[in-house]
């Protein structure tokens, strides 16, 4: 379960990147389309949902593997996408809190 091949890492990274790009477009699109406070809060919910989805997708793409290195893949991807989305929708205390919660969910899903 914890011995992960190079192919599994490649699948995890490529899956995380593709999901992150699609989620970033969706999160920013929601904010720009709806706008105002509702769009902002829906985008924050999207960031938190992305964390959970990223952790589960990395877990699925590796065939159920877990481990610290996969936690790094999911966590780093979540932080980067959260920060990029945050800069596009506006960085604030709630945005940073959403990124922290999303990263926790992504990493916790792959915990040993």
Query: What pLDDT is attached to residue 12?
Result: 92
**Run means of pLDDT, 10 residues per run, the chain, 112 residues:** 81 93 92 89 92 92 89 93 91 93 93 82
Query: What pLDDT is attached to residue 103?
Result: 95
Alpha helices in the chain (DSSP H): 6-34, 36-61, 68-89, 93-109
In which domain, by residue range, is 99 found? Answer: 6-109
**Does 1 reside within a domain?**
no
Counting the structural domains of the chain, the total is 1
State the maximum Cα–Cα separation within the chain, in Å, rounded to a whole number. 47
Tell me the pTM. 0.89
Query: What pLDDT is attached to residue 36?
Result: 83
Query: What pLDDT is attached to residue 64?
Result: 87
Q: What contacts 82, CB < 8 A, 6 or more positions away?
A: 47, 50, 51, 95, 98, 99, 102, 103
């Amino acid at each position: 379960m914890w011995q992960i091949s190079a192919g599994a890492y490649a699948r995890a990274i490529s899956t995380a990147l593709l999901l992150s790009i699609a989620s970033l477009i969706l999160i920013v699109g929601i904010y720009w389309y709806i706008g105002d406070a509702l769009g902002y809060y829906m985008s924050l919910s999207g960031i938190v949902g992305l964390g959970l989805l990223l952790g589960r997708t990395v877990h699925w793409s590796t065939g159920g593997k877990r481990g610290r290195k996969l936690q790094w893949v999911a966590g780093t991807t979540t932080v980067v996408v959260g920060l990029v989305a945050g800069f596009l929708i506006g960085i604030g205390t709630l945005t940073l809190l959403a990124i922290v919660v999303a990263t926790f969910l992504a990493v916790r899903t792959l915990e040993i």
